[in-house]
Every structure is written in structure tokens, then in C-alpha cells.
Amino acid sequence: MGFLDISNVTKSYGAVEVLHKIDISVQEGEFLVLVGPSGCGKSTLLNMIAGLEGISSGEIAIRGSTMNGVHPSKRNIAMVFQSYALYPNMTVGQNITFGLEMHGTPKPEREAAMKKVAAMLQIEQLLDRKPGQLSGGQRQRVAMGRALVRNPDVFLFDEPLSNLDAKLRVDMRTEIKKLHQNLGTTIVYVTHDQIEAMTLSTRIAVMNKGYVQQLGTPKEIYDTPANIFVATFMGSPAMNIMPAKVVMADGAPHAEVTDADGTARRLRFSQANMAEWAGREIILGIRPEAITDPDGADRKSSNIQSLTNRVNVTEPAGSDTFVTTTLSGGDAIARMRADAEVRAGQIFDFAVDMDKAVAFDPRTEDRIPA
């Protein structure tokens, strides 16, 4: 039993079931991120934890005591919303202390708590402004302040950064990370940005269509995705997915793919158990950063395979250069150093890190375990 237990929880709107038997147990101090495409039920689940939506069946418990039917304000949780949901008619200070006021905290204590939080978030000079007079980043801070001041058992965040521009998003991400490290509070965080998910979380739950597809550490999710959905959802640019045939050569299993010209190319698997699939079709997944120029390839890898192929497009993006090529009839993207000497149309020796390759069963779309 964990700190926050979601057991067998289902949610229906009328006849439509939007969450199906969700089971997640969160330990105290964990940072759980819920990711998934739009409409998969992330917000619904969060709202159920908060008590803003009823539970159709199953149970949600905090510290072992059931929360079903308990009023949101009695759950000792705090929530930060995507649009921040700052009360537009109140000053920043009033926004922060409103929750305390509602819980009957006396004024001096409220003031003190507000001062402390404002100092922590460096928004002391904004306390008398109205939300309308704040920039996006400042609003975000105030929303955090409102949550922090309550000193809750659990923080819930619903896409708190998605309204910020890219630069600010990175900064605020770091702040949230620091906050978690400093306070050690349990956090459940919804996003559909997988970089956020990867960098912030201690564990990630990848959701799709109301099901939890995989629950695990960022590394597990990234390196050993449970299925094709998780594999392609996490990572940007997405993992390259291509049909391949398993063939045996030199006593080892190889993935046979075709290059831009249709010539068959073989890449040796690092996993010996792929031999079991010999002669059968699989789906091969290779992340863009595992296909590079030989100079950029990971020196630690035990299994760098060379693959000669024609370059279609190169996209220099400053820090890296993305190279598009054709593998098994589809586009595949390779990520290379910014300075990699590669031109469109060129025949190039790609270095493929097969330690990082994963294989999926084409029928179930699940990953074939190593």
C-alpha cells in the first residue's frame, strides 16, 4: 500500500466509460507524471483524485484512508491548473491566501505564510497586483504559490506549463523540479509534453484511451517501452518504426530492412533471444539518436552497426542536425551532431546503435522482451 492509492478506478459519463480500471499506487515523495494524447483521460483522473469528479467505481485512498465522497477541501491536496485559474478579482496576495481564509486560518498566520511563499517564489513585489497585470510566467508562479501555501499532502498539476512559451517552459520546469527536491511532497503531474514527463518524474504513467499503457521510471519507459504506442509517444522526434524480418547470419539474429534503393540490409541484434523469431516478421524500433554519423556514435555502445543509405533531407537545427532517410519504405530520422558532414542525396554510412533497438510483435504491438 502506497501513499496515494488508485485502485480499480473507473469513470463513466453516462454510458461512455472514459477511464477503465485504473490501478496506480504512488509512494510518499514520488513525482508521478501522467502523459498521454489529448482526451485520454488524464485530467479526469486528476480531478477524481482532487474530488472534483465523482468516482464511478473503485477507490482512491490517501494514507490508507478512502477519499471516495470526501469533499475536495477536506483532502489536503492542492492543485495547479493549466489556465492557472487565478481569481481575476483578487490581488495576488488574496489569491494565495484565499484557501487559508476558507479554512479559517487567522489573518496574521495567513500573512506570514503568504510572505514565506512569496519569498520562495520571488513574487514579493507582485502581491498587490491583479492577475490581469501579470505575465504568463508570473501567473504560473502565483498559481504555484497558491498551492504551496496550503502545505498539502499531495500536489496535483494539470498541464501547468502548456500556456507558456518554450523558453519560459524550460525555466519553470527547472523550478518545479527544484521545488520537488526541496519540499519532498508527493506530486501527480499531468502533461502531454514528453520532455517534461521525462525530466520531472520519478515515475511515468503513459495513458491512452482511458487505459494505463505503461507505468515505470522514465528510463524504463524510454528504453523499454511496453508497446508501439508508448515507444512512439515518448521521445521527439519519435522513434523510427519499421517492419523488419528476423534472419540468422553468422549464428546471430539480424533484422533485415531495406534501404532507400530497396536493397536488403542487415543489422545484428544485441538481444540473443531474437533468434526465437527467426524467419518471422517483426516491427523494429530505433530512436533517432541511435542512428548517427560514425563520429558521433556512442563510444560506450557494444554493438554499433553500419548501414549505408541515401540521405533524403537534412535539417540543421543548431544543436543537432536531423537527417531523413528511407528505411523499409518509410521515413526514418537520424539525429547527428550539428557539424556532421552530410548532404541531401549523398550515400552515407549511418552508425546504428543496436543496443538501443527494440522489437515489437506485429500482432499485439507489444515489445518482445529481451
Partner 1 sequence: MDFRTRLQTWLPKLVLAPSLASTLVFVYGFIVFTVYLSFTNSTILPSYDLVGWHNYWRLFQLPTWTIAVKNLAIFASLYIAICIAIGLGLAIFLDQKIRGEGMLRPIYLYPMALSFIVTGTAWKWLLDPGIGIEHTMHLWGWTSFHFNWIKTSQYAIYTVVLAAVWQTSGFVMAMFLAGLRGIDNEILKAAQIDGASNWNLYRRIIIPQLRPAFLSAFVILAHLAVKSYDLVVALTGGGPGRATELPATFMYSYTFTRNEMGVGAASAVIMLMTIAAIMVPYLYAELKEPK
Partner 2 sequence: MSSASQEIAIRTGGFTRKLIYVTLIVFAAFYLLPLFVMLINSVKPLSEITGGNMMALPKVWTIKPWLEAWSSAQIGVQPTGLRPYFLNSIEMVVPAVTISTLVGALNGYVLTKWRFKGSSILFGLMLFACFIPFQIVLIPMARVLGMLGLAGSVPGLILVHIVYGIGFTTLYFRNYYAAFPTELVRAAQIDGAGFFRIFWRILLPSSAPIIVVSVIWQFTNIWNDFLFGSSFSGQASQPMTVALNNLVQSSTGVKAYNVHFAGAILAALPTLLVYIVAGRYFVRGLMAGSVKG
Ligand X SMILES: Nc1ncnc2c1ncn2[C@@H]1O[C@H](COP(=O)(O)OP(=O)(O)OP(=O)(O)O)[C@@H](O)[C@H]1O
The only residue of 39, 184, 329, 330 in contact with ligand X, by rule CB under 6 A? 39
> CB–CB of 325/253 below 8 Å?
no
Alpha-helix runs per DSSP H in 125-165:
136-148
- Should residue 42 be labelled a site residue for ligand X when binding is judged by CB under 6 A? yes
Check whether the bond before 237 is cis (ω within 30° of 0).
Answer: yes
Alpha-helix runs per DSSP H in the chain:
42-50, 92-102, 107-121, 136-148, 166-183, 194-200, 218-223, 228-233
The only residue of 17, 124, 193, 281 in contact with a copy of itself, by rule CB under 8 A? 193
Closest CA to 77 of 162, 185, 184, 181: 185
- Side-chain-facing half-sphere of 263: CA atoms under 13 Å: 8
What track of x and - describes contact with a copy of itself for positions 35 through 74 (by CB under 8 A)? --xx------------------------------------
Backbone φ/ψ region at 199: left (φ over 0), alpha (ψ -120 to 50), beta? alpha
264-268 vs 320-327, strand pairing mode: unpaired
- The burial of 108, by beta-carbon neighbours within 10 Å (0-12 exposed, 13-18 middle, 19 or more buried), is given as exposed
Stretch that binds a copy of itself, among 26-34, 68-76, 117-125, 309-317 (CB under 8 A): 309-317
The only residue of 35, 40, 45, 50 in contact with partner 2, by rule CB under 8 A? 50
The only residue of 2, 20, 25, 98 in contact with partner 1, by rule CB under 8 A? 98
User: Can you tell me whether residue 316 is helix, strand or coil?
Assistant: strand
To the nearest whole angstrom, how small is the minimum distance from the Cβ of residue 237 to Mg ion? 24
What track of x and - describes contact with partner 2 for positions 80 through 119 (by CB under 8 A)? -xxx-x-xxxx-------xx--xx----------------
Query: Smaller CB distance to partner 1: residue 87 or 347?
Result: 87
Closest CA to 37 of 245, 244, 208: 208
- Should residue 20 be labelled a site residue for ligand X when binding is judged by CB under 6 A? no
State in Å, rounded, how far the first CA of the chain is from the last one.
Answer: 30
Closest CA to 205 of 50, 19, 16: 19
Name the binder of 77 from partner 2, a copy of itself, ligand X, none, CB < 5-8 A by kind.
partner 2
* Residues making contact with partner 1 (CB under 8 A): 47, 50-52, 69-74, 77-79, 81-83, 85-90, 98-99, 102-103, 146, 150
Binding residues (CB under 8 A) for a copy of itself: these are 37-38, 165-167, 170, 174, 177-178, 181, 192-195, 198-199, 218-219, 222, 233-238, 287-289, 295-296, 298-300, 313, 315-320, 322, 324, 335, 337-339
Query: Which residues contact Mg ion by CB under 5 A?
Result: 43
Q: Which residues contact partner 2 (rule: CB under 8 A)?
A: 47, 50-52, 71-73, 77-79, 81-83, 85, 87-90, 98-99, 102-103, 146, 150
